[in-house]
Amino acid sequence: MNPFRYERASEIASACATAARPTAKFIAGGTNLVDLMKLHIETPEQLVDITRLPLDRIEETADGGFRIGALVSNSAAAADMRVRRLYPVLAQAILAGASTQLRNKATTGGNLLQRTRCPYFYDVTKPCNKRVPGSGCAALEGLNRMNAVLGVSDNCIAAHPSDMAVAMTALDAVVEIIAPDGSRRAIPIDELYSPPGDTPHIETVLEPGELIGSVLLPPPPAGRQIYRKVRDRASFAFALVSVAAILDLDGERVRAARITFGGLSYKPWRSAEAEAALVGAPATRAAFDAAGTAALKDARGYGHNDFKIPLARRTLRATLTQAAGLA
Amino acid sequence: MKEFLRSMATRRWFLKTSGVATLSLASSPSMTQPAAETPSLPTEHVDLTINGRPYSLDLDPRTTLLDALREHLGFTGSKKGCDQGQCGACTIIINGQRINSCLALAVMHDGDEITTVEGLTEEGVLHPMQAAFVRHDGFQCGYCTPGQICSAVALLSEHRAGWPSYATADVATAPALTDAEIAERMSGNICRCSAYPNIVAAIREVAEEGSQ
């Protein structure tokens, strides 16, 4: 690990000001950052420890939604009875990620900002445009079975690893951001992540020194919420494909649907195509298959990850079948 | 060969950038030489309560909690397996919650209360979970065992607090501690000898004793 200066932040504004320096970084749970620092993939010269800032509450908002502080641990969010009753898809998604030891440390803000687990991002002997801009992408021709099939570019096919963010995207969550000058802005979670394009090293729209302060959940939508994750082992593994679905039925027809995939793109992949295919359709396997076909129509495999395309369609069908009570 | 070169490169990085942490390597002059090139960085003062006793340390901020425990304080019960949060051998309980101590910077835990496997034993009497692991033969080589036991102790308090898991069919309910629940909740602790069935049996027994 490279040497760094350590600073324990006691108030938000000064923490943001310090972290705005190009060589500085915020640290909270550290479960991803410390690992990357050991490997010299992250080499900050200064760490701003934000764990003692007052951002660790889950509060109900005036409209019946909830605000989850950025420092609420993944465990605390998933154990909160209000989250479990009103946003079960979020509790399920959080519990599908990592291990209890990691969830106890990992925070809401840090989970959103965790880096990809693409093996070539981690392998410092290989080219990676995300790690070393302009060096190339070893995953294109490499062992890319964990990589993305939607929304990526030939410069980078890394997938976002979060489960939590997939559920939050289905819930139309809003990320509340605090800038070094104290100003605040709120952006839909779907707009937090930047497409890789020609600049895969730029992963979010956050400006230097901007801090995620909280995540706002709108009031829970009508319908049944389900998170389903497919992975190489039964627990403690990243998703090959996951689906967060919220399905609202009017008798035997779909009144409303929200579909978000994990493991397929640089961000949680909300599928407007699948949702449009479902609304008004009968709640049948055929309709669910049609939604999957619509969702994956622009998908492109890179060899080892070709299987993700049919797997995503089948996972969507299984999730919706369960949500509709047909299973 | 590539692996070898990589490990050498990593070692060189380590030597070039290590200050306080090279103490254990100080016997070889050729190895300490590069370390002298690094401008010394300030250490950070850290107060920890470990197994009920206070400890004060001045640490290079890079020091993980695991290294602070093992290398600076001699608490060698917690083990370094993968050093990247994947195996669970370094699991300790901090302010009542289990974490991977290999991914925690000690300086960030100033003032915290830590329980290691050494702290579970009271006056020479094994903790019920330790005794159950012995009774059920919940290990072979034993390397992962301190982490497994710390994890299992924390698991029971999480379950008592009503925490759900991914194995819980309805997350809005407090589930019974079935074998499937135990296996899911222990998935952060890998056992290369695959003693899993006996580990689950040991935890189940302690859970049942506790609920009587």
In a domain, A256, yes or no: yes
Q: Is the pLDDT of residue A303 over 50?
A: yes
Provide the ipTM: 0.96
Alpha-carbon gap, residue B170 to A121, rounded angstroms: 37
Full residue range of the structural domain in which residue A257 is found: 227-323
User: Looking at CA atoms only, how far is residue B94 from chain A in angstroms?
Assistant: 10
Q: Is the pLDDT of residue B152 over 90?
A: yes
Interchain contact A239–B (C-beta under 8 A)? no
User: What pLDDT digit, counting tens, does each position of A9-56 carry?
Assistant: 999 999 999 999 999 999 999 999 999 999 999 999 999 999 999 999
Q: Do A5 and B61 touch (CB under 8 A)?
A: yes
How confident is the model over B173-191, as a mean pLDDT?
Answer: 97
Full residue range of the structural domain in which residue B151 is found: 128-211
Check residue A169 and give its pLDDT: 99
B156 and B114 inside one domain: no
How confident is the model over B115-123, as a mean pLDDT?
Answer: 96
Q: Is the pLDDT of residue B28 over 80?
A: no
Q: Which residue has the tokens 């049919």?
A: A310
B207 and B165 inside one domain: yes
Which residues of chain A make contact with B62, given a CB cutoff of 8 A?
1, 3-4
Q: What's the whole-number average pLDDT of chain A?
A: 98
User: What pLDDT digit, counting tens, does each position of A170-205 carry?
Assistant: 999 999 999 999 999 999 999 999 999 999 999 999
**φ/ψ bin of A196: left (φ > 0), alpha (ψ from -120 to 50), beta (otherwise):** alpha
Contacts of residue B167, Cβ cutoff 8 Å, sequence gap at least 6: B175, B178, B180, B181, B183, B184, B185
In a domain, A25, yes or no: yes
Which of A32, A51, A70 represents a domain boundary (last residue)? A51
Structure confidence at residue B72 as a pLDDT band (50, 70, 90): very high
Could you tell me the sign of the dihedral formed by the alpha carbons of A221, A223, A229, A230, in that order?
negative
CATH number at residue B98: 3.10.20.30
Q: Is the pLDDT of residue B101 over 90?
A: yes
The percent of residues above 70 in pLDDT, for chain A, comes to 100
Structure confidence at residue B40 as a pLDDT band (50, 70, 90): low
How many structural domains does chain B have?
A: 2
How confident is the model over A124-136, as a mean pLDDT?
Answer: 98
Interchain contact A184–B (C-beta under 8 A)? no
Lowest mean pLDDT among A121-130, B6-15, B150-159: B6-15
Q: Do B13 and A40 touch (CB under 8 A)?
A: yes
Provide the Cα torsion A210, A215, A216, A219; round to 10°.
160
Interchain contact A232–B (C-beta under 8 A)? no
Cα A74 to chain centroid, rounded: 13
DSSP state of A153: B
B100 and B159 inside one domain: no
Structure confidence at residue B154 as a pLDDT band (50, 70, 90): very high
Which residues of chain B make contact with A104, given a CB cutoff of 8 A?
97-99
Interchain contact A79–B (C-beta under 8 A)? yes
Q: What would the DSSP string read from start to end of A203-244?
A: -BSPPTT-EEEEEEEPSPPSSEEEEEEEESSSSSS-EEEEEE
Q: Is the pLDDT of residue B8 over 90?
A: no
Q: Do A34 and B61 touch (CB under 8 A)?
A: no
Interface list for A 99-128 with B (CB within 8 A): 99-102, 104-105, 124-125
Alpha-carbon gap, residue A227 to A281, rounded angstroms: 21
In a domain, B151, yes or no: yes
In a domain, A310, yes or no: yes
Q: Is the pLDDT of residue B1 over 70?
A: no
How many structural domains does chain A have?
A: 2
Which of B119, B150, B170 represents a domain boundary (last residue)? B119
In a domain, A168, yes or no: no
Q: Do A235 and B187 touch (CB under 8 A)?
A: yes
Check residue A327 and give its pLDDT: 73
Q: What angle do helix axes B145-160 and B196-211 make, rounded to 10 degrees?
A: 40
Structure confidence at residue B210 as a pLDDT band (50, 70, 90): confident
B105 and B152 inside one domain: no
Q: Residue A271's closest CA among A290, A252, A249?
A: A290
Could you say which of B2, B99, B166 has the minimum Cβ distance to residue A235?
B166
In a domain, A13, yes or no: yes
B135 and B206 inside one domain: yes
User: Looking at CA atoms only, how far is residue B140 from chain A in angstroms?
Assistant: 23
CATH number at residue A302: 3.30.390.50
In a domain, A243, yes or no: yes
DSSP state of B64: B
